[in-house]
Structure 1
């Protein structure tokens, strides 16, 4: 059986269409992978690219993408709402079909070494590929961002797994690792006060005592003049989307604010949406496998 891996690189460019397309073209032009989706956010100044394919194809495409991003993106001149430390900020590998998590961890290490050797970008291994417990969480690695990373990597606790105690002068550092599917989910608020979004993010995220498998921060969408709670849900089976939405609504109401919309970034597992549909529609005894007609077309 053919092994299939999904790859979802995040690049630190969401405004320059030519740069984004040049980076995406490296995936389009790589044999053995299929480009599934890409989306950009000007306020975050970030793009998310999703593709899948054979392990060899995925590693070839991700390496080519990293090289192109390092060529075209200079973080010394980058500004955006989303934290970042690299031109290619993070490259997760997700096992999809006929490949184990353990195998995907090994592929991530091979990819990390290739990017360091071919692009000269130092690499941190994270999530299931992490070399130490304090490196599992991407937010911990990224703390200090690009501007503080040159000093951070001098600390032996934070020397990159591939590369020495220095960063790429324009492309920074990149995190590479195996993880399971997540939902990138944003909640937009009826306010321009980003402090309210930050307070809500603190309430719902795991690191502050909130929901398991939820990472969140408050950001400002300058182009829309609204605040946003930007969320990564790393296991929607343990914490469903609707639960986070309902708590966000309740907390926002404390400041006279309401939710005006939500966003899903990139691709998401169907089950995550079905869970919320069941909740809001109050469907009794629903069987998604048998009662969704499109399942019979797959």
Structure 2
């Protein structure tokens, strides 16, 4: 389709203001050929931009942060986003290149394409993020025969991601006490998925797909190899353990001489990284442990928009 000048201007405005962000978590970071294949698929549409990539070798996990616009019909309903085909192409490449049965790492996971979450940016809404999550879930579930569980705004009752994960045994290591290896859940799932079959392919596993407002991810290294102590501290930091509201945590092995508390800040403008860091340091000191300064695993929404605008203008 050829755009006349007014259409070009309208599309440019759309790219600047109606934006969705996708965070795509894939269970692999050590196989360069697999990641190259996934990233080639991501470049299939120049209107989708990878604004960040976070790899962790110990966790054997990678997260891609992608951004593109969402278009609407004359009534204001969302009808198209380049993110849809891009994420679908990346998922297909991941399923072709990665076998979950051969995968192991220090971070929990239940699938090759483990988690896909959409966040609204700029003037986009949570409803638009949920629309895209549900559309993608139906395609992944049916096309690739992968069980998909919806969460957050994409779920009819806004079911929480951590609730679904607990039901499926996500948080229980299944190898050497602190690692996850192969497929560790029954092949006939205890909870019916929202899309796709109830029978699991052990090579592909399952996928979580959701939509929610911005969540910050912040990790705090603990200078100890005793993961049981790190998990105890993590629990005391989390809302679930009576710690900080809207904070979720995991205590994990990270390298040969340290552990780490991986945190999800569900309302980072209310309970931020400084509060988390201070509480971890206080609790670790009571155990006689040193703590390093934590780090965010992704940019802020403002920085993501800024990077997207720069990258999209560079390719225009």
Q: Same fold (TM over 0.5)?
A: yes
Q: Distance in 2 between matches of 1:265 and 1:139?
A: 23
Maintained 8 Å contact 1:128/1:136: no
Q: Distance in 2 between matches of 1:19 and 1:193?
A: 33
For residue 185 of structure 2, the aligned residue among 148, 173, 185 is 148
Maintained 8 Å contact 1:93/1:178: yes
Structure 1 segments of 4+ aligned residues over 3 angstroms from their partners: none
- Structure 2 gaps of 5+ residues are 1-12, 71-80, 171-182, 304-316
**What is the Cα deviation at residue 150 of structure 1?**
2.2
**What is the Cα deviation at residue 266 of structure 1?**
2.4
Q: Distance in 2 between matches of 1:12 and 1:249?
A: 30
1:236 and 2:268 are equivalent in the alignment: yes
Q: Distance in 2 between matches of 1:106 and 1:200?
A: 38
Alignment of 1:265-276 (within 5 A): 265-269=297-301
Give the TM-score normalised by structure 1. Answer: 0.83
Alignment length (residue pairs): 265
- Structure 1 gaps of 5+ residues are 272-298
Give the equivalent residue in structure 1 for 2:90: 65
Alignment of 1:107-126 (within 5 A): 107-126=132-151
Which digits, 9 at most, give the CA deviation of each residue in 1:224-261, with x for residues without a partner? 42011111111112211111100100000011111123
Maintained 8 Å contact 1:212/1:238: no
Partner secondary structure for residue 185 of structure 1: strand
Q: Distance in 1 between matches of 2:31 and 2:101?
A: 16
Maintained 8 Å contact 1:189/1:261: no
- Going by fraction, where is helix more abundant, 1 or 2? 1
Partner secondary structure for residue 207 of structure 1: coil
1:22 and 2:37 are equivalent in the alignment: yes
Q: Distance in 1 between matches of 2:186 and 2:244?
A: 29
For residue 210 of structure 1, the aligned residue among 239, 243, 249 is 243
Alignment of 1:75-94 (within 5 A): 75-94=100-119
Which digits, 9 at most, give the CA deviation of each residue in 1:271-290, with x for residues without a partner? 9xxxxxxxxxxxxxxxxxxx
Maintained 8 Å contact 2:277/2:293: no
Give the TM-score normalised by structure 2. Answer: 0.79
Q: Distance in 1 between matches of 2:27 and 2:138?
A: 21
Which digits, 9 at most, give the CA deviation of each residue in 1:185-219, with x for residues without a partner? 11001211111210111001122222122111111
1:169 and 2:169 are equivalent in the alignment: no
Give the equivalent residue in structure 2 for 1:37: 52
For residue 101 of structure 1, the aligned residue among 126, 135, 138 is 126
Given the superposition, is the C-alpha separation of residues 14 and 65 from structure 1 closer, same or farther in structure 2, using an over 3 Å criterion?
same
**What is the Cα deviation at residue 270 of structure 1?**
5.7
**What is the Cα deviation at residue 5 of structure 1?**
0.6
Q: Distance in 2 between matches of 1:237 and 1:248?
A: 19
Partner secondary structure for residue 208 of structure 1: coil
